[in-house]
Amino acid sequence: MTHRQRVLTTLKRQPPDRVPVDLGGTLASTINIHAYRRLMAHLGFGGEPPIAYLSRRSNSVLPDERLLAHLDVDCRAVILDNPDVNPERALPDGSLVDEWGITWRHLGEGQHFINADGPFYDREPDLALVEKFAWPDPLDPGRIRTLRGQAETHRARTDAAIILVLGVGVVHQIQFMRGYAAALEDLIAAPDFLQAFMERYVDFWIRLTERALQEVGDLVDVAMFGDDLGTQQGPVMSPALYRRLIKPVHVRMAQTVKRFRKPLLLHSCGSVAAFIPDLIEAGFDALHPVQVSAKDMDSASLKRQFGRDITFWGGIDTQHVLPRGTRQDVREEVRRRIGDLGPGGGYVLGAVHNIQAEVPVENILAMFEAAREFGGS
């Protein structure tokens, strides 16, 4: 099989020739800049390679093609660019401000930025806030200026599955613009405000997604976006609340992608097992990152319950095994997840979220070596 065939086969929950692997294919399955530099130097590709950021805010990179070929990675990402109007800019203190008016504070060298202020912070959740907000233009030409060139380059150099990275969904966006605590309170205390915001934001997202897929729909194989619904200990909201407020919006987003006949991958961290039946019903084909260290996210149980209907993507523990385990621990982790999630197809192997700065090079290499050894021919 080609790399593309391998991914598309497993997205259909059919057995591929081997378990496909991902690094750098999505907004949360790549690698921190410091770990990346060490890995590149170790492999003799240069300790200071040119950096292409997948996300500046998470200090995560689009890996060099030499690295992806060496690791036999099955996926490549194409990403939207900054808009021409109000592109992301740096402040004197090192913070970033994006087109939505969200301020992102840097947590330290090589670390994430975190949202620290936004246009709806410390405001009453009034419908007028939504109406008066200066909504960005989804058709700003800067967003897609390089999109086709990225996809054509991947097509020319590889036979990998190409993933269109579409950014974040409504849950993330309101949290960033309003603050996490206030956005969660609004689910109960101000649902009318929340619904008004979500409708406007999804209108924006749909127009942007349609434009992006018109541009590269003939070249990309999968689309994805992120919307975290879980914490380490459980869902951020009840399934009933999800069904009432969020699921109708996710259905609209999924239907947009399906009109272009592309599989849709959802990134959603934490304990999200309670939502999986609804995610399947909403139209998602795959779930990333399968945070196996979170409550109710046992990989064998998830496969038994839902493996016929959704593909699992990720699954290799980034909280404990990759940063703190031995090479043998990593090998056993890979063997376990392939054994749990791989049979019959429906599993793309990768780290649970981006590989962070403290992960040893030896453990990164052990993960990919074990994936080849245990993942099939």
Domains of the chain and CATH, by start:
3-374 (3.20.20.210)
| Residue whose pair of structure tokens reads 């590269």 in the numeric block | 216
Dist. CA 286–CA 294, nearest whole Å: 18
Q: Is 226 helix (H, G, I), strand (E, B) or coil?
A: strand
Question: Exposed, middle or buried, 42 (CB in 10 Å: 0-12/13-18/19+)?
Answer: middle
> pLDDT per residue over 90-104, tens digit each?
999 989 999 999 999
Note the pLDDT of residue 265.
98
pLDDT tens column, 269-287: 999 999 999 999 999 999 9
Task: Kindly indicate the confidence band of residue 47, based on its pLDDT and cuts at 50, 70 and 90.
Answer: confident
What is the mean pLDDT of the segment spanning 70-81?
Answer: 97
- Percent pLDDT > 70 in the chain is 99
pLDDT value, residue 337:
98
- Of the pLDDT bands very low, low, confident and very high (cuts 50, 70, 90), residue 110 is low
Give pTM, 2 decimals.
0.96
How far is the C-alpha of 213 from the C-alpha of 164, rounded, in Å?
A: 8
pLDDT at 139 over 70: yes
Averaged pLDDT, 316-330: 97
Amino acid at 275: F
Cα 308 from Cα 106, distance rounded (Å): 41
Helix (H) or strand (E) holding 171: helix 170-178
Banded pLDDT at 341 (limits 50, 70, 90): very high
